[in-house]
């Protein structure tokens, strides 16, 4: 008997986390797996941020914080939005959560009613459609292949909007493709949204600082739609703080209040210690962010070059984040004599078993012809992984 809720039954487990767990299991058994499945910086949290966390414990910042986060942290986030993005927000518009993931989910839960449609450009981050389903909404996908650099066009957006559309979820720089929308491309999307006054944008900007094309552009900069943009960001990627679990929404006051109300019944304010560390991240020197970005940029160049040398893979040049999203469908129907590859998940399993490199099939990202590799790992690992992948793929006939 299945006694679980329909809500849980219709959810899929996170494919990125599942593949990472499988890779850790194999590693524990002594298999020399290179894990390129999960997207998290391989750097340690910078010293001054760790020290702020330690100081927070010593100074007894160990009690409940206000549900939307400490006022000083929300103020630091407003300063960040002003200085880096030229956007004016008040602390009451900021809600700090347990990571960007909770922030995206909080935003969706705050605005989506049963039956509402939420536009999710594909390829998408695995959790977006699942969160929409959790909110009893309907994800509506807009496909965008490698030939359009995985970015949707204004015409596609216009065609996808119906009277039931509640929101668009935009992720730039993108997980899983690394694509970055330029200011002009964002302006063109904003022009469409301007005509549809009840449509919100949930703008996931968690990879803001991992961009190889200069200054980050937020869709919130366009005044005409500004009141309908919910920005999601956080410290996980920019400051190598994935385990600290701090993200935020910056939203119109009503939406921010709603996110906080939900959080007040569900999780309360996030970890007091992590909040103090996040405040140090936002207020301290940004040198560490630039150093990590430079390392990711070098690795991006390396992995693109090596992947383009492997026959059968089609590779675009990602402009941000730390993912490569090659097209691998030329291998579908091929076999090494033992296994035949039919799908991108088969392809990722083949690479795990044969090359001992953990990647994630594009099926989970709404792009069944591609697969995702995270290059947030050492240059040595990248070189070795691409060598192994090249050898494994050469066996497929």
38-46, 157-165, 247-255, 273-281 -> range binding ligand GLU (CB under 6 A) = 38-46
If binding is defined by CB under 6 A, does position 38 make contact with ligand GLU? yes
Residue 123: cis peptide before it, omega within 30 degrees of 0: yes
- d(Cα 261, Cα 68) in Å, to the nearest integer? 9
Where does this chain bind ligand PMP (CB under 6 A)? 39, 99-101, 104, 125, 171, 175, 204, 206, 234, 236, 242, 247
First to last CA, the chain: 44
- Within 217-256, the residues that bind ligand GLU by CB under 6 A are none
Among 97, 172, 175, 179, binds ligand GLU (CB under 6 A): 175
The candidate with the shortest Cα–Cα distance to 244, out of 70, 53, 47, is: 53
CB-nearer residue toward ligand GLU: 24 or 87: 24
CB of 389 to ligand GLU, least distance (A): 18
CB of 301 to ligand PMP, least distance (A): 22
If binding is defined by CB under 6 A, does position 209 make contact with ligand GLU? no
CB 67 within 8 A of CB 269: yes
The kind and range of the H/E element at 394 are: helix 379-394
Name the binder of 247 from ligand PMP, ligand GLU, none, CB < 5-8 A by kind.
Answer: ligand PMP
If binding is defined by CB under 6 A, does position 377 make contact with ligand GLU? no
Pairing type for strands 165-171 and 117-122 reads: parallel
- d(Cα 61, Cα 65) in Å, to the nearest integer? 9
CB-nearer residue toward ligand GLU: 14 or 272: 14
4-12, 32-40, 60-68, 253-261 -> range binding ligand GLU (CB under 6 A) = 32-40
Count Cα atoms within 13 angstroms, Cβ side, for 85.
21
> By beta-carbon distance, which residue lies closest to ligand PMP?
99
Residue 291: cis peptide before it, omega within 30 degrees of 0: no
CB of 19 to ligand GLU, least distance (A): 9
CB of 210 to ligand GLU, least distance (A): 12
If binding is defined by CB under 6 A, does position 366 make contact with ligand GLU? no
- d(Cα 361, Cα 137) in Å, to the nearest integer? 25
Give the sheet arrangement for strand 360-361, strand by strand.
323-324, 371-374, 360-361
Count Cα atoms within 13 angstroms, Cβ side, for 122.
18
- d(Cα 179, Cα 185) in Å, to the nearest integer? 12
CB of 375 to ligand GLU, least distance (A): 12
What character string, x for contact with ligand GLU (CB under 6 A) and - otherwise, covers 122-161? ---xxx----------------------------------
Residue 176: cis peptide before it, omega within 30 degrees of 0: yes
Q: Which residues bind ligand GLU (CB under 6 A)?
A: 14, 16-17, 38-40, 101, 125-127, 175
């Amino acid at each position: 008997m299945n006694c679980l809720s329909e809500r849980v039954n219709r959810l899929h487990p996170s494919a990125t986390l599942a593949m990472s767990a499988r890779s850790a299991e194999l590693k524990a058994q002594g298999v020399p797996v290179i894990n390129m499945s999960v997207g998290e910086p391989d750097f340690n949290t910078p010293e001054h941020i760790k020290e702020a966390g330690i100081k927070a414990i010593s100074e007894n910042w160990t009690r409940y914080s206000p549900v939307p986060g400490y006022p000083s942290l929300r103020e630091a986030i407003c300063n960040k939005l002003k200085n880096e993005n030229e956007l004016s927000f008040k602390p009451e518009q900021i809600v700090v959560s347990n990571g960007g993931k909770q922030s995206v989910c909080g935003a969706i839960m705050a605005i989506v009613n049963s039956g509402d449609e939420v536009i999710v450009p594909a390829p998408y981050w695995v959790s977006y459609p699942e969160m929409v389903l959790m909110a009893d909404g309907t994800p509506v996908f807009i496909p965008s292949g490698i030939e359009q650099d995985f970015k949707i066009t204004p015409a596609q957006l216009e065609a996808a909007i119906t009277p039931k559309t509640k929101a668009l979820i935009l992720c730039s720089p993108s997980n899983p493709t690394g694509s970055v929308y330029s200011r002009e491309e964002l302006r063109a999307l904003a022009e469409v949204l301007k005509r549809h006054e009840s449509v919100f944008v949930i703008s996931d900007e968690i990879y803001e600082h991992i961009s190889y094309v200069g200054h980050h552009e937020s869709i919130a900069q366009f005044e005409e739609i500004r009141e309908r943009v919910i920005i999601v960001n956080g410290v996980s990627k920019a400051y190598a703080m994935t385990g600290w679990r701090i993200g935020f929404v910056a939203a119109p006051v009503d939406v921010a209040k709603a996110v906080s109300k939900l959080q007040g019944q569900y999780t309360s304010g996030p970890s007091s210690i992590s909040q103090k560390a996040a405040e140090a991240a936002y207020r301290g020197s940004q040198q560490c962010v630039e150093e990590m970005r430079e390392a990711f940029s070098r690795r991006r160049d390396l992995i693109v070059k090596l992947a383009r040398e492997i026959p059968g893979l089609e590779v675009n040049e990602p402009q941000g984040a730390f993912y490569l999203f090659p097209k691998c469908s030329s291998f579908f129907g091929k076999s090494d004599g033992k296994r035949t590859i039919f799908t991108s998940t088969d392809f990722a399993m083949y690479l795990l078993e044969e090359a001992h490199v953990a990647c994630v099939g594009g099926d989970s990202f709404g792009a069944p012809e591609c697969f995702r590799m995270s290059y947030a790992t050492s240059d040595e690992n990248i070189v070795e992984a691409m060598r192994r992948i090249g050898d494994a793929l050469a066996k497929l006939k």
